[in-house]
Amino acid sequence: MAIVAVFGALSLVGCASAPPALATPRSQPNLLVFLVDDLGWQDLSLPLHHVSTALNERYRTPNVERLAAGGMTFTQAYASAPVCTPTRTSLMTGRSPARNHITYWTLNADSDTSAPFPGLLPPAWDVNGLQPDDVTLPALLSRKGYRTIHVGKAHFGAQGTPGSDPANLGFDVNVAGHGAGAPASYLASESFSRGNVWDVPGLERWHGSDAYLTEALSAEASAAVRDAVAAGQPFFLNMAPYAVHTPIMANPRHVGDDPGLPPVEAAYASMIAGVDRALGELLDLLDALDIADETVVIFTSDNGGLSAHGRAGEPHTHNAPLRSGKGSYYEGGVRVPAVVRWPGVTEAGARSAVPIITHDLFLTLLAMADVGLKPELRGPLDGVDITPLLKGAGPGAGDLSDRTMLWHQPHYWGIPGPGIEPFSALRQGRWKLIYRHRDRGFELYDLQVDLGEAHDLAPSQPELLHRLADDLTRRLRRVDAQMSLDAESGEPVPWPADALAPGDRG
């Protein structure tokens, strides 16, 4: 494995100005990551666009708004990948999916979940996902004295491998996490089960009740936090509700609050409201235990919102003004909500337009916990520590506004839609370059003026196209990225720079 670029030091270009840190942060704060599944950039009542939209008006997330009022909201946050396992394993390792070679979602041991795509084959990627010999965030925190708790969806390693159990990856406590990435059912009355690989394990005491899965997980997370506090340990809680992943099943506690919506959209809105309630319950618990001021809370999603299927209305529009959704290389597939509350450090109500990405959280959380990486464990990492950004460091701390971020997914998600195909992509400042593996073609967008990626500049900007294609190639090579294979020759498709050699291609 090699490296995505080592990003420069940090700055606050594009970030709301903030005063110096309000207090010296606790050296070992509690850490709570609330990682929602498939939550789109527009799936909140908290606006992340420069204006509130009709979608923001549709959803009710007062507790996300509450969190944002006390912390920093990132309007240009990204998932490490447009599907779940690559993002989740990047959070755990600080390495991009391209470097990890975990470039797609996993399920069963030694089995490739890639859908067939005309003319291309997937490379020999790591189909088993994260395993016990990987250096992980919870393992490092555990060595520092943290009680490490996982609740909900794991989807780190394939079923039938040790990595399917978060307890083998550094977590002291695992509740309901295993190798599958969706629940068979959200209803305890159905035992969260359909009698297959998707059955949610470890929640037997809830079976037969009227609980919804999100509610059961919230209660289990609260109990685990209480245990850690009673034991006098700082905790790291990876709270990962299976919602709002399919199956879209109404949360009875919240359905009916959205008159006029098609039934599936009303059910989806109720799932979002249930997730927000779970967040609120945890925030209330921190207050009740008098530990809110010493607990960092990070709220985000593992990829863009579902839009290609299973929703009412026109497909590929549920993340508008972003284009497309989950599985896609367009912004709707990778741009996600992100809010960070670090009491005494982040300015209350701050908003930042600085781009960040999921695997930044690895080094960020370690820095918050004052955990240093030993040289033999450090290895090449792809994220950056964004704590200076959260602390309100002024100009001179470096510059992240023009940072380069890489996405790489040499797989087909299996559901047709805009940008849903094998690809490599790069964002550098305002520019986003996409390399399509199927036809070795390019797309180039100026995100500063074209958030919806409607105006392809590749044909009209040959010099910029060449420069970015060269940079994308260097970064892919540096991480030892595995390109899609040509189905006829069995050879990897050309690197982006080589694809341009015969002439510019748009």
| Banded model confidence at residue 375, pLDDT cuts 50, 70, 90 | low
160-193 burial: b if 16+ Cβ within 10 Å, else e:
ebbbbbbbbbbbbbbbbbbbbbbbbbbbbeebbb
The tokens describing 461, both together, are 């900007």
Q: 348 and 385: one domain?
A: yes
Residue 420 and residue 381 share a domain: no
Structure tokens given for 247: 């199956």
Q: pLDDT tier at 461 (50, 70, 90 boundaries)?
A: very high
Q: What is the pLDDT of residues 175-211, one digit of tens each?
A: 999 999 999 999 999 999 999 999 999 999 999 999 9
Contacts of 171 (CB under 8 A, 6+ apart): 138, 148, 149, 150, 177, 238
pLDDT of residue 376: 55
Segment 33-48 shows an average pLDDT of 98
| Predicted local distance difference test score (pLDDT) of residue 372 | 84
User: Given pLDDT bands bounded at 50, 70 and 90, which one contains residue 359?
Assistant: very high
Report the number of distinct structural domains present in the chain: 2
Does 257 have pLDDT greater than 90? Answer: no
Q: Which of 365, 390, 415 is the last residue of a domain?
A: 390
Find all residues with CB under 8 Å of 356, minimum gap 6, and list them. Answer: 74, 76, 77, 78, 338, 386, 389, 400
Q: Is the pLDDT of residue 22 over 60?
A: no
Strand, coil or helix: what is 91? Answer: helix
Asked whether the predicted pLDDT for residue 221 surpasses 50, the reply is: yes
- Looking at the fold, whether 243 and 368 belong to one and the same domain comes out as yes
What pTM did the predictor assign?
A: 0.93
For residue 16, is it within any domain?
Answer: no
The larger pLDDT score, comparing residue 259 to residue 483, is at 483
- pLDDT above 50 for 114: yes
Which region among 18-32, 148-162, 209-223, 342-356 has the lowest average model confidence (pLDDT)?
18-32
495 and 412 both lie in a single domain: yes
> Helix, strand or coil for residue 254?
coil
Please tell me the predicted confidence (pLDDT) of residue 258: 73
pLDDT given for residue 27 in this prediction: 74
User: pLDDT band at 497, cuts 50/70/90?
Assistant: very high
Write down the pLDDT at residue 377: 64
5, part of any domain:
no
SS3 label, residue 301: strand
Closest CA to 411 of 101, 190, 130, 145: 101
With the C-alpha atoms ordered 190, 194, 197, 198, is the resulting torsion angle positive or negative?
negative
Q: Are 380 and 353 contained in the same domain?
A: yes
How would you class 290 by CB atoms within 10 Å of its CB: exposed for 0-12, middle for 13-18, buried for 19 or more?
A: exposed
Give the angle subtended at the CA of 90 by the CAs of 416 and 153, to the nearest 5°. Answer: 75
Instruction: State residue 26's pLDDT score.
Output: 65
pLDDT of res. 373: 79
Same domain, 251 and 359: yes
CATH of residue 481's domain is: 3.30.1120.10
**Mean of the per-residue pLDDT values for the chain?**
92
Average pLDDT over residues 435-439: 98
| Mean pLDDT, rounded, for 35-50 | 97
Q: Is residue 20 part of a domain?
A: no
Whether 357 and 411 map to the same domain: the answer is: no
Domain co-membership, 411 together with 386? no
The CATH number linked to 146 is 3.40.720.10
- What does the pLDDT average to over 450-477? 98
Q: Inform me whether the pLDDT recorded for 401 exceeds 80.
A: no
Q: Are 305 and 326 in contact, with CB atoms under 8 Å apart? A: yes
- DSSP lists the bridge partners of residue 341 as 297
Structural domain including 487 reads 404-500
pLDDT value at 504 more than 80: no
The per-residue b/e assignment along 357-379, b for 16 or more CB within 10 angstroms, e otherwise, is: bbbbbbbbbbebbebeeeeeeee
Give the CA distances from residue 159 to residues 44, 113, 329, 444, in Å, rounded to whole numbers and listed in that order: 32, 13, 27, 39
Q: Based on the domain organization, do 446 and 356 belong to the same domain?
A: no
| The domain boundary residue, chosen from 390, 423, 441 | 390
DSSP state of 187: B
Residues 381 and 272 in one domain: yes
Whether residues 247 and 335 fall in one domain:
yes
Asked if 32 and 268 count as a contact pair (C-beta separation under 8 A), the reply is: no
For residues 345 and 451, membership in a common domain is answered with: no
Is 343 part of a structural domain of the chain? yes
For residue 164, which phi and psi values (nearest 5 degrees)?
Answer: -70, -20
Q: How confident is the model at residue 7 (pLDDT cuts 50, 70, 90)?
A: very low
Instruction: Decide if 6 is inside a domain.
Output: no
Residue 24 belongs to a domain: no
Predicted local distance difference test score (pLDDT) of residue 379: 73
Q: At residue 285, does pLDDT exceed 70? A: yes
Residue where a domain stops, chosen among 390, 416, 431 = 390
Whether 235 maps to a domain, the answer reads yes
d(CA 362, CA 499): 34
Statement: residue 498 has pLDDT above 70 = yes
Query: For residue 4, is it within any domain?
Result: no
Burial class of 391 by CB neighbour count within 10 A (0 to 12, 13 to 18, 19+):
buried
Helix axes 263-288, 62-69, angle to 10 degrees: 40
